[in-house]
Amino acid sequence: MFGAGSAGTQLVHRLAGQRGARYQPVALLDDDPGKHRLRICGVRVRGGRERLAEVAAETGAQIVVIAIAGGRGDGRVIADLVSLAESAELTAKVIPPVHELVSGSAKIDGVRDPRITHLLGREPIRLDLTAAASRFAGRRILVTGAGGSIGSELCRQLHRLHPAALVMLDRDESALHAIQLALHGRALLDSDETVLADIRDTARINEVFAQARPEIVFHAAAVKHLPLLERYPSEALKTNVAGTLNVLRAAAACGVQSFVNISTDKAADPVSVLGTSKRITERLTAHMADQAPGTWVSVRFGNVLGSRGSLLDSLSAQIAAGGPVTVTHPQVARYFMTATEAVQLVLQAVTVGHSGEVLVLDMGEQVRIADLARRMAATASHRVEIVFTGLRPGEKLVEDLLGAGERDHRPQHPLVRQVPVPALEPREVTDISHLTDPDEVRAALVRLTAAPGPAPMPEPVPGKPAALPARPATPEPAEAGQ
């Protein structure tokens, strides 16, 4: 067991007093030299983490239980200990988080496998949404792509903030049924809050906005699976680019006060159809910021844990099927975030974003997908092989959060970068909307991502902290194959 503090002491006492306990402690480790040579119920503290493999060999231990209840700053410690356990051929387990222990929903001896969030090496990011929350109560809000992973989580959190109206738009009727059921426990699809519409349909989108008259719009609708869009780039042009332009124009026509376009880290120095199409949406949103009153911003995410079609889902399914687990490259790495973190950023954008900017959350370091796959496979009851298949067209080895010429500027929040975006004239999109040949579409999308030059940095805001110095880019984990 690692950890001879309060949690570790409680766990040893609990296990020692149980007949037939599933786990029998044979040794304790702790990095605090002051705890070395202590004994708890006869179990001795035998050093720090550097002795993990040695003590395991001496005692015949098969499992290391990490007795840290998940307080602030413990994410990196847990991730490091899981890596050490792997190298010592030990199975790592963790105790329940402190909030479950305090609430009584879990007991100290409820040892479990590490959760994916433990393996990210950081604590979940929590933004203070007190100021943002007041922006949504009593307001008319519309969410496109409301049935998707981000859209549905957005709707759940917005619903709790008591808007005057929450209009959920999606082209997937089953997804609309699911989100209404989640919000109300019933889903008759018989109210104006669920709207079946496709953002590609200009007339229909204009009609919806004219009827709903939203004050705030969150634009989450998109096609986003990288390999498919490499094969069918015209679908990205029609949905991500032209569809976004339809939504932007409809929003401006009805006097929207705040518009948040959801982008991706693949829009930073893009090399894929997904990335180029989403970079164009950032530039179109910046154009609207120059043309219409209100706030028009974009937000960039890394890969969202647990979203539909995500890396996590794919790895879990492959492991459940007995393997092999496929990873494109041993060094491929992506940024990960939870759906809650992503939605917090989206909601924060309404408060801190300056019109024409893209907001980027500090997601820590990128995680190697091969490491994540190995850790997940280690929890299986059978041996799972990992097979490397090679990078696919449009894939980067590691992702970028900021593109060339974009600075790490955080004037209002230490975890949120705010980056100006050069505008793109909508006519440049309409000029290519007729293209269908895949190579021509790809070339046109690449051309429209190019800016005339770096966007100027905004003037410092009086009373706000100055921008932090730029940091070197670090690798991040991605969704399945993205």
pLDDT attached to residue 117 = 58
Which sequence positions are flagged as catalytic? 266
- Tell me how far apart the alpha carbons of residues 209 and 252 are, in angstroms, rounded to a whole number: 10
pLDDT attached to residue 456 = 46
For residue 358, give the DSSP letter. Answer: E
pLDDT attached to residue 60 = 92
pLDDT tens for 299-309 read 998 777 766 65
Do 237 and 196 touch, CB atoms closer than 8 A? Answer: no
Do 258 and 295 touch, CB atoms closer than 8 A? Answer: yes
Joined together, the tokens standing for residue 408 give 């790490």
- Cα–Cα separations (whole angstroms), residue 174 to 124, 146, 181, 456, 474: 31, 11, 11, 44, 38
H or E element in which residue 236 lies? helix 233-236
Name the nearest CA neighbour of 479 among 312, 273, 360: 312
Q: What is the C-alpha radius of gyration for the chain, rounded to an integer number of angstroms?
A: 25
147 band by pLDDT with thresholds 50, 70 and 90: very high
pTM: 0.76
Q: Is the pLDDT of residue 474 over 80?
A: no
Q: Is the pLDDT of residue 477 over 50?
A: no
pLDDT attached to residue 375 = 75
- Tell me how far apart the alpha carbons of residues 162 and 273 are, in angstroms, rounded to a whole number: 38
More confident residue, 155 or 87: 155
pLDDT attached to residue 350 = 86
376 band by pLDDT with thresholds 50, 70 and 90: confident
Joined together, the tokens standing for residue 293 give 């009153």
Q: Is the pLDDT of residue 326 over 80?
A: yes
**Burial class for 169, CB neighbours closer than 10 Å (0-12, 13-18, 19+):** buried
Do 165 and 136 touch, CB atoms closer than 8 A? Answer: no
- Tell me how far apart the alpha carbons of residues 337 and 117 are, in angstroms, rounded to a whole number: 9
Joined together, the tokens standing for residue 405 give 């010429």
